[in-house]
Structure 1
Amino acid sequence: MADSTAPRRTAGLKKIALNFLGITAGALIMAIALENVLIPNQLIDGGVTGIAMMISHMTGLSLGLFLFILNLPFLYFGYKQIGKSFAISVTYGILILSLATTFIPHHGAFTNDTLLATVLGGIMLGIGVGIAIRSGGCLDGSETLAIMFNKKSPFSVGQIILFMNLFILGSASFVFGLDRAMYSLIAYFIAFKTIDLVSEGFNQTKSIWIISDKPDLLGEKIMFRLGRGVTYLNGRGGYTNDEKQVIFCVISRLEEAKLKSIVKEIDPTAFLAFSNMSEISGGNFKKQDIH
């Protein structure tokens, strides 16, 4: 008898391999940003990485060494609070980052323009960290705390990391000077926005709730002209006590304007409610042919 679990096992191993590949790519991008953009321009990252960069600058010892040592308590915390698989991913990411910052070829700064280094470094940091988070890991102990708090708070991972780093980046003024600390803060503002963009997805989806007196016609037009499926839900007005049909639909962010124009054309008095969705699973979200 054939083993029915084999395909699932293969798919699981493939997903794990892709996740570790993503964490590796994220760590390498972050290492390049640190060694070839930020450090040559005396700019720092936030979190444990920022602390490691300041200690490395003051002692002259390897950044990779401090990255690994300072993150050890957070690795244990992640294991106890979030789980074994996550802790393994975090340990792997930080190990790759530590090794990459130690052995990556140093060909000098990509740019000696401080403002350009601030923007470029922030974008590269955000991309690297965002890819790692999207792949199920992280590259800094403070991110472990942020991911845990994210599960119990309305703030995004990038926002939580930013709050913690306001204090860490402020201390950089005593090591590199006030102007470099302010540039570092700007770099992290750029990075945290990039983190959200990468970790939550470039093509963010939206869920739409529509209450209309013409639900059937409106639903048909949405399916016909947008190629998106709709679901009809039964509802009842709280004030009028009238029975209503509510249209539920999930679209991409780029389709929002077109949907609004369809609704305005069919029923200008319809009520619309939009909600951002960073992830959807199950069902069939494929776009059908449009006319």
Structure 2
Amino acid sequence: MKESLKDYLFIFVGVFLVALSLEYFFIPNNIAAGGLTGLAIVINHYIPAISTGPLVFIMDLFLFVIGFIFLGKNFGVKTIVSSFSLAGMMTFIESFLEPKAITNDLMLAAIFGTLITAIGMAIVFNANASTGGTDTIAKILNKFFHIDIGKSLLAVDFIVTLLGAITFGINIGLYGLLSVIINGIAIDKVIEGFHVCKEVTIISKKSDEIGKFIMEELERGCTFLKGVGGFTGKDTFVLYAVLGRSEFIKLKQHISKVDPNAFITVGEVHEVMGEGFKNIQ
């Protein structure tokens, strides 16, 4: 229950960031940076009586059904919450706050709008949800074909940028394409950052004590590998563990006390699956 509430809190935060970037960077500058929101910007140009918020909601309903079928009930429930939230936030901002472009410089609008959008969408994806629309298609491609979410978005959003170029001109269309490209790369990088762990190998005379600290104090598993010292020719143990960043800091502090001469190598891993981490799916 606590984990579920945490996911929904992250979803609202992520959606809020996406809504801000759309209403204050993209929509006022007619930058159709892919997705249903980009398509809504194009449609709104031809049918100004319907604002982008309601347009996004209507188109989301169709793709939501597809996502519900292919991605399961849990994903569907979270996605409908995020979709309603995004459409609702956009409609509220358009109705009561009269949003205006923070900057009319298309380059600045494209860059900062895209970075804020990427952070927001990555937060939503990390909670196993989507802001709806083409995000849902990207999630389906990621699940069944193991294509990075960012690259999937790049593929499915490309056609929207072409429509934007046809509607608003080649210059604005190219800025939309630039936003899509940056968005795809940035989302993958932000998602990777959520899951980065420290891969640690330790050679120490106090390996038993260090291993006990990892298992009992950090509540993580570790593995002892048999080795032979190249210089001494003596049998030794190599301790291997994967830890979170805060856990690694605690381990390093402990090792500095029990064996300051320990040999440690540290690497970053961007995805860890198995007991104590996320499920293998």
Q: TM-score, normalised by structure 2?
A: 0.74
Q: Does structure 2 conserve the Cα–Cα contact (< 8 Å) formed by 1:122 and 1:189? A: no
Q: Does structure 2 conserve the Cα–Cα contact (< 8 Å) formed by 1:52 and 1:67? A: yes
Where 2:241 maps in the other structure, the secondary structure is strand
Letter in 2 for 1:93: S
Query: For the residues of structure 2 that align with 1:109 and 1:101, how far apart are their CA atoms?
Result: 14
Q: How does 1:61-210 map to 2 (within 5 A)?
A: 61-104=50-93, 105-202=97-194, 204-207=196-199
* Residue 93 of structure 1, CA deviation: 0.9
- Relative distance call for 1:109 and 1:247 in structure 2 (3 A) is same
Query: For the residues of structure 1 that align with 2:207 and 2:158, how far apart are their CA atoms?
Result: 47
Query: For the residues of structure 2 that align with 1:157 and 1:125, how far apart are their CA atoms?
Result: 14
2:41 is aligned with 1:48:
no
Identity across matched positions, percent: 26
- 1:106-139 CA-to-partner distances (Å, cap 9, x unmatched) read 2411111111111110011111111111222111
Letter in 2 for 1:127: I
- Relative distance call for 1:249 and 1:66 in structure 2 (3 A) is same
2:16 is aligned with 1:28:
yes
- 1:200-238 CA-to-partner distances (Å, cap 9, x unmatched) read 33461254679xxxx556968x98xx99988445589xx
- 1:132-187 CA-to-partner distances (Å, cap 9, x unmatched) read 11222111322112222212334321121112222322232101111111111222
Q: Does structure 1 conserve the Cα–Cα contact (< 8 Å) formed by 2:67 and 2:136? A: yes
Which 10-residue stretch deviates more, 199-208 or 159-168? Answer: 199-208
Give the structure 2 partner of residue 4 of structure 1. none
Query: For the residues of structure 2 that align with 1:218 and 1:277, how far apart are their CA atoms?
Result: 29
- Relative distance call for 1:171 and 1:19 in structure 2 (3 A) is same
Query: For the residues of structure 2 that align with 1:91 and 1:283, how far apart are their CA atoms?
Result: 29
Structure 2: tracts of 5 or more residues without a match? 228-234, 253-260
- Relative distance call for 1:247 and 1:153 in structure 2 (3 A) is farther
Give the structure 1 partner of residue 269 of structure 2. 276
- Relative distance call for 1:146 and 1:219 in structure 2 (3 A) is farther
- 1:54-88 CA-to-partner distances (Å, cap 9, x unmatched) read 11222112111211111222111111111112111
Structure 1: tracts of 5 or more residues without a match? 1-11, 237-242, 260-264, 285-291
Query: For the residues of structure 2 that align with 1:107 and 1:152, how far apart are their CA atoms?
Result: 39
Query: For the residues of structure 1 that align with 2:225 and 2:6, how far apart are their CA atoms?
Result: 42
Where 1:172 maps in the other structure, the secondary structure is helix
Q: Does structure 2 conserve the Cα–Cα contact (< 8 Å) formed by 1:207 and 1:277? A: no
Query: For the residues of structure 2 that align with 1:80 and 1:144, how far apart are their CA atoms?
Result: 11
Query: For the residues of structure 2 that align with 1:73 and 1:191, how far apart are their CA atoms?
Result: 24
Where 2:145 maps in the other structure, the secondary structure is coil
Q: TM-score, normalised by structure 1?
A: 0.71
RMSD: 3.7
**Number of corresponding residues:** 253
Letter in 2 for 1:139: T
* Residue 244 of structure 1, CA deviation: 10
